Amino acid sequence: MRHGLASDRCRDRHGHAWRYAYDEQHLLVEDTDRTGLTWHFVFDSQRRGIEAWGDIPGRVDWSLAGELPTHLDDGETRWKGIHHCKVSYWDVGFTEVADFSQTRRFHGNEHGTLDKQVIGGAVVTATYREDGWMTSRTNERNGTERFERNARGSVVRYTDPLGHVTTIERDANDLPIEIVDARGGAHRLERDARGNVTLYVDPTGAATSRRYDARGLVLEEISPNGERTAFSYDAHGNCAEVTLANGATWRFRHDRLGRRIAEVDPFGAETRYRWSARGDLLAVIDAMGAETRYAYDGEHHLTELVDANGGVTSFAWGGYHRLCLRRDANGHEVRLGYSPEGELIEVRNEVGEVHTLRRDGSGKVLEEVTFDGRTIRYGYDAAADLVVRSHGDRDRVRLVYDLAGRVIQREYGDGTIECLDHDELGALVRVAWPGGEVQLDRDAAGRVVRERQILDGVEHRVESAHDLEGERVLRKTSLGHTEAVERGLFGARRRTVLDGRVVVEHASDLLGREVARALSGGGRIESAYDRMGRIERRRAMGAPREVRVGPGEPAWVGPRPENVTVDMAYRYDPAGELSASWDQRWGWTSYRYDPVGQLLARVPEQARAEVFRFDAAGNSHEDGSDAPLREYAPGNRLICKGNARYRWDAEGRLAEKSVEDPETGARRAWRYTWSHAGLLESVTTPEGERVEFRYDPFGRRVEKRVGKAPASALRAYAPRSVTRFVWDGDVLVHEISRRARADGDPVVEVKTYCFEDDGFAPVAHCDGGEWFHYVNDPIGTPERLVDERGEVACALRREAWGRTEAAPGARTSTAIRFPGQYEDPETGLCYNRFRYYDPEVGRFVSSDPIGLDGDINAFAYTNNAIGWADPLGLYKSGPLNPNLLGKDKAGKKTKNLTEWRRCVSKSDLKGERNKFLGVDHVKVGEGKWRSRDGTRQFRIKPDDFLGKHGIGYPTVTNAPHVHFEFLSPNKSGTGFDVTKNVHVPLSWLLLLVMILLRKSGKRSIRFEFDRVGALDLEAAFGEVPRPVLALVDRTLFGGRQARRGGFVEIPFHVLSDFDDSGMILFFSADKVLLRLDTDSVDYVRHRLRKCDPGGFFPAEIGEVSLGESEDVVSLYGEYREPLCPV
């Protein structure tokens, strides 16, 4: 029998309703969300949850794909809906949880924590002190991490599974004041009486200090180089102004709910935000007046996006917060299908082709079958880490890990082995492969200060020095090249000295953007920006020269300096796409796009127009009566363009391209071979030329050989030219070419490159002892090269998809094309780091090595190469969303947000990482993991874990957190931006209990602790009873716990009322404790749902029960885990 309580239905401000049903024991048995998804809960006689599932009554959940199960993994329980699980409590000391694909076993102890966890064949065990604090944890590889703790239970010494030790010194309040990492680097923290960090000194000695107001808000931050940033706030604690050291000021306005409604940058450009009554972002109006609009369903899912040009993209959702359909502005649909556990198992593209993923019980992908029929298989170890990946008929890679879970060896199908070494903090310091080796020396902060690149015994070095801010101020190579940089505010360049003799002076605006570059010979390059920060005009000028008085002009006009050698202007449409460009030499070019931003036409004033159309899958076709016809096979493989034919191998890589000779009718063929690592190994041309390539384990091309292909396999290949490439991180620094000469020693030519800081846009190169400087388009593609005097040394003309030629009379040349690309004239292809790009067709010649994480079209470059780039060849980039909330300091490109409505438990960091990045993500640095397409990054370092730098902007101090980051090439194509950085509190919890306050007066609320976190009651109520203060720092997998059945009485006075903005106010001793939007009842629950699939409530939080009073109150609680390195 069910009893409908007064709270069995509630509505938000938009009329969307939740519904609840309870049994006769007042236990929640049904919970229906605002889209109709109902969660069912079953309890045993001891009021323990034993079964839960979700369904949509009256219809099948349309998120489900594939064959549905009939029973759970126990073989007895019939499957009832999504996320169906059954819990069995055994008297012998363990609990089993069965879902449709696996059964997990958990062994508990008297502390209410886990002694052992068994999932599949993987076992994790832990040991504890008598008071319940965890002292060791042994992972699935039998690697053990150990925790030494003080009397309060806080970690003071941590030993990782490899024996590396981190020590933590704490003050009287148990807060860290010095952390000595495993490499011996000391991190020192000074705090004020409240525990706020007032000074942080990193292992290099760089010091950052902060000053706070009485509310604990940051008033001023002083960086290691002395730059001061000031913050001011409104009466509610919202950041109202941020002023930088150069006087640049951002201003912010907020509504009564603390939501940002406007921000004004230092140039007066205003961005406005419009919100719904319940807190959904409805519209963003940018500084140019362009408006982007958003619509949502009852559960806050985005259902419609209307861009500034009026294009409508719609979304449909199913399951538990799963995107099931995306319909673009052209009306083309992509559908996604999921397993009952919410795991993606099917993608149906715009033309109905299907990509399937088969998973194991833990959700790991075992096999993929792609749109074009390729099969990719995966194998894992007990720790759920990838150990083998096979692709097609021949490609296979095996991975070996150390006890800490770091890759230490990769073995390919041809027997090639790569060995990787890491330092004590897990940073990569050496990688070796047959014939080559890379060594990385790091400073105390982990920055690379020396890289040795060794190939066939020949070593090249690149050395770096950094300032206190970590910005590089010196680059030096073993070939004698130096680049010395003097920096100003925000790390902006003031002066660059190349090779000790060529001086370049830089001028920057308030935001640290370069506006002028003065060259040593009198030349000058200038850049201007529009109100959205996009390149609006770029000019190069030669040394001033006098233009004599013209005929008919009065003598008093006098001579005037004028010597503009390059002049380019750019205009954009409301959606930010380039709509027109003007070039002093080539005239006007206009651009036209379809509703989804695909380039339909490029119409230059002085050349033939290029016109395109796109099929439903996003494949480009030349348009027009005399245009060559293209044909695509399933999976978007190009098989012909005009009289060119393309043949592909089983791994989705181009094997042969043949073109019919119009005179003879014979077909001329280019043949391609590939390494077992999936990289292009050689190209043989129709003329019998053979080009071979070699790479390091980072995918960087280190050598190119060109020569006549041997007439038979018995004859050795004797290249006539060899080019060695030396790298500075992700960009070239030297190109060393050796060409054989019949009459003597080989000719050796060296070209040296400089790129923008942390980007892919070229700045200058040295050719034959002379430096030339690049004038680039808005995404960083070269348009001109000028000499030191500012005179044009090379003018480039480029077609829509990148095919480029230099104008006659060039004094230098460059192989750099779109950002990250290097053209090989011998093959006509552009090396694009992990793939090769063919500008003839505007596509890659191999499938995306990161699969669906790149794009569902595995061969596409971008749908608009005019405005977007793919520097690594890993994904089809799209336009950045300039309308994200939050802003970091000027000079940085991060868009920061803080999500306070959820938290991440340390015990589930790996699960959170897998959900966000996919199980095939890669570790790219200390505490940093990235999805294979490079678009998403999960980051948590010891500083984040310890809350050293807090959350958000302005900073909320002492807040442990993790970063969910979204990456994309920046608008200028000069590097990658973190376009969105969502800070999520680490194991913090907002405990919100159903609000049913009916009267004022004294209350005695009784809390029953099962596995519950520490409640920050002192911050809320002032003086707190001693039993409460003893309950601190609890965690599921180790931590002091209140014993089950223990009770704590918390007496206090409470009064509730509504203010005129519809907010509930809570008072204690006439002091506001919590200001809560009434719509936040979305997150309010009478009882913890242990089987909540969305993970909003960490499973380790126990239930909250009421005392004698039937009234329920709202309580703000803080939940923390022990402080220990990640």
**What pTM value is reported for the model?**
0.80
Q: Is residue 432 part of a domain?
A: no
Going by the DSSP 8-state scheme, the letter that residue 478 receives in this structure is T
Asked whether residue 1031 carries a pLDDT value surpassing 70, the answer given is no
Rounded to 10 degrees, what is the CA torsion of 134, 135, 140, 144? 160
Task: Decide if 449 contacts 463 (C-beta within 8 A).
Answer: yes
Query: Which two three-digit tokens encode residue 570?
Result: 């750019």
Task: Write the CB contacts of 151 (distance below 8 Å, at least 6 apart in sequence).
Answer: none
- Whether 956 and 1069 map to the same domain: the answer is no
How high is the pLDDT of residue 1121? 27
Mean pLDDT of 215-244: 93
- Give the pairing type, strands 38-43 and 49-55: antiparallel
> Which of residues 986, 1009, 1035 is at a domain's end?
986
The residue to which tokens 């007496």 are assigned? 1051
**Please, which residues have CB within 8 angstroms of residue 36's CB and are 6 or more apart in sequence?**
56, 57
Task: Find the mean pLDDT for residues 322-345.
Answer: 95
Q: Are 1119 and 1101 in contact (CB under 8 A)?
A: yes
Does 1084 have pLDDT greater than 80? no
Residue with tokens 């002093």: 584
Question: What's the structural domain count of the chain?
Answer: 2
Confidence of residue 264 (pLDDT cuts 50, 70, 90): very high
Is 980 within a domain? yes
Burial class (CB in 10 A: 0-12, 13-18, 19+), 100: buried
For residue 50, what pLDDT is reported?
A: 94
735 within domain boundaries: no
Compute the average pLDDT of residues 237-263: 93
Any residues with CB less than 8 A from the CB of 859 and at least 6 apart, and which? 636, 637, 638, 652, 843, 844, 846, 847, 848
Same domain, 972 and 1045: no
pLDDT in the model for residue 744: 73
Average pLDDT over residues 419-442: 96
Using CA atoms, how far residue 698 sits from 224, 236, 832, 924, 1013, in Å, is: 33, 49, 13, 11, 43
Among 518-527, 930-939, 1108-1117, the range with the most confident prediction by mean pLDDT is 518-527
Sign of the C-alpha dihedral computed for residues 236, 241, 244 and 250 taken in this order: positive
Residue range 897-902: average pLDDT? Answer: 46
Q: Quick one: CA dihedral 697, 700, 705, 709, positive or negative?
A: positive
My answer on whether 1040 and 993 are in the same domain is: yes
pLDDT at 1101: 27
**Torsion angle in degrees (nearest 10) through CA of 916, 921, 925, 926:** 60
Which of these three, 986, 1014, 1049, is where a domain ends?
986
Model pLDDT, residue 968: 54
The predicted structure's pLDDT at residue 622: 97
Q: Are residues 964 and 1076 in the same domain?
A: no
Q: Measure Cα distances from 365 to 334, 362, 890, 924 in Å.
A: 21, 9, 41, 21
* CA pair distance 745, 701, nearest whole angstrom: 26
Segment 8-33, tens digit of pLDDT: 778 888 888 889 899 888 889 999 99
In a domain, 275, yes or no: no
Checking if the pLDDT of 967 tops 70, the result is no
| Residue 768, phi-psi category: left (phi > 0), alpha (psi -120 to 50), beta (remainder) | left
Residue whose C-alpha is closest to residue 333's, from 341, 342, 343, 323: 323
Q: What is the pLDDT of residue 1021?
A: 31
202 φ, ψ to 5°? Answer: -85, 175
> What pLDDT is attached to residue 543?
81
Cα–Cα distance for residue pair 155/127, rounded to 1 Å: 15
Give dist(CA 548, CA 555) in Å, integer.
10
Supply 535's token pair.
Answer: 């390149």
Compute, in degrees rounded to 10, the torsion defined by CA atoms 361, 367, 370, 376: 150
Burial of residue 263 (number of CB atoms within 10 Å: 0-12, 13-18, 19+): buried
Q: Are residues 972 and 962 in the same domain?
A: yes
CA contacts within 13 A on the Cβ side of 448: 21
Confidence at 748, pLDDT banded by 50, 70, 90: very high
| C-alpha span between 376 and 396 (Å, rounded) | 10
What is the model's pLDDT at position 976?
46
CA distance 724 to 732: 11
Helical (H) or strand (E) element with 944: helix 942-945
Residue 711, both tokens:
């007439």
370-414 pLDDT, tens digit each:
999 999 999 999 988 999 999 987 899 999 999 999 999 999 999
- Torsion, Cα of 42, 43, 44, 48 (10° steps): 140
Residue 1027 pLDDT more than 90? no
Q: What tokens were used for 849?
A: 């090595």
Question: Are residues 1083 and 1011 part of one domain?
Answer: yes
Q: Is the pLDDT of residue 1091 over 80?
A: no
Q: What are the phi and psi torsion angles at 557 (to 5°)?
A: -60, -40
The rounded distance, in Å, linking the Cα atoms of 654 and 637 is 9
**Does 981 lie in the same domain as 1037?**
no
Decide: helix, strand or coil at residue 217.
coil
Residues 1053, 1068: contact at Cβ < 8 Å?
yes
Judgement on whether residues 904 and 966 belong to the same structural domain of the protein = yes
Asked whether residue 1061 is domain-assigned, the answer is: yes
pLDDT of residue 1068: 30
Mean pLDDT, the chain, as a whole number? 81
CB of 413 closer than 8 Å to CB of 434: no
Q: Do residues 291 and 283 lie in contact, with contact meaning Cβ atoms separated by under 8 Å?
A: yes
For 1001-1004, the CB contacts below 8 A with 24+ separation are 1001/1053, 1002/1051, 1002/1053, 1003/1051, 1003/1052, 1003/1053, 1003/1054, 1003/1109, 1003/1111, 1003/1113, 1004/1049, 1004/1050, 1004/1051, 1004/1107, 1004/1108, 1004/1109
Per-residue pLDDT tens digits for 865-895: 998 888 988 865 443 222 222 222 223 333 4
Preceding peptide of 554 cis, ω within 30°: no
* Pairing of β 49-55 and β 744-755: unpaired
Residue 664 confidence class, pLDDT cut points 50, 70, 90: confident
Same domain, yes or no, for 960 and 1013? no
Q: Which residue has the tokens 């950045």?
A: 880
Residue 1095 counted as domain residue: yes
> What pLDDT digit, counting tens, does each position of 265-290 carry?
999 999 999 999 988 999 999 999 99
Q: pLDDT at position 1046, please?
A: 29
Q: What is the pLDDT of residue 1086?
A: 27
Least confident segment among 215-224, 364-373, 627-636, 945-954: 945-954
945/170 Cα distance (integer angstroms)? 15
Domain boundary among 954, 986, 1018: 986
**Residue 1070, pLDDT score:** 28
Q: What is the structure's pLDDT at 555?
A: 61
Q: In this structure, are 966 and 993 located in the same domain?
A: no
Separation between Cα atoms, residue 1001 and residue 1052, nearest integer Å: 9
Q: Above 60 in pLDDT, residue 1051?
A: no
Q: What is the pLDDT of residue 466?
A: 96
- Which 8-state DSSP code applies to residue 716? P
Q: What is the pLDDT of residue 1089?
A: 29
Q: Domain of 1122?
A: 988-1126
Residues 903 and 984 sit within 8 Å (Cβ to Cβ): yes
Q: How many Å apart are CA 489 and CA 891, to the nearest integer?
A: 8
Mean pLDDT of 757-779: 95
Rounding to the nearest 10 degrees, give the CA dihedral for residues 77, 82, 85, 86.
-40
Report the chain's terminal Cα–Cα distance, integer Å: 48
Q: Do 145 and 1122 form a contact (C-beta atoms < 8 A)?
A: no
Other beta carbons less than 10 A from residue 626's beta carbon: 5
Question: Are both 977 and 1032 inside the same structural domain?
Answer: no
CB 1118 within 8 A of CB 1017: no
Burial class (CB in 10 A: 0-12, 13-18, 19+), 111: buried
Please name the residues in contact with 66: beta carbons below 8 A apart, sequence gap of 6 or more: 337, 339, 345, 346, 356
Q: Per residue in 472-522, pLDDT tens?
A: 999 999 999 999 999 998 899 999 999 999 999 999 999 999 999 999 999
Q: Report yes or no on 896 lying in a domain.
A: yes
Q: How many Cα atoms within 13 Å fall on the side-chain side of residue 705?
A: 14
pLDDT value at position 1032?
A: 24
The answer to whether residue 23 is domain-embedded is no
Separation CA 1063–CA 733 (nearest Å): 59
Q: pLDDT at position 38, please?
A: 95
CA dist., res. 463 & res. 475, Å (int): 6
Q: Say if residue 1055 is in the same domain as residue 1120.
A: yes
Q: What is the pLDDT of residue 494?
A: 97
Which two structure tokens, joined as six digits, stand for 957? 């101090």
Three-state DSSP class for residue 600? strand
What is the rounded CA–CA span in Å between residue 420 and residue 431?
4
Q: What is the model's pLDDT at position 1083?
A: 30
Three-state SS string across 1015-1061, please? CCHHHHHCCCCHHHHCCCCCCCCCCCCCCCCCEEEEEEEEEEEECCC
CB proximity list for 1099: less than 8 A, separation 6 or greater = 905, 1036, 1090, 1092
> What's residue 912's pLDDT?
67
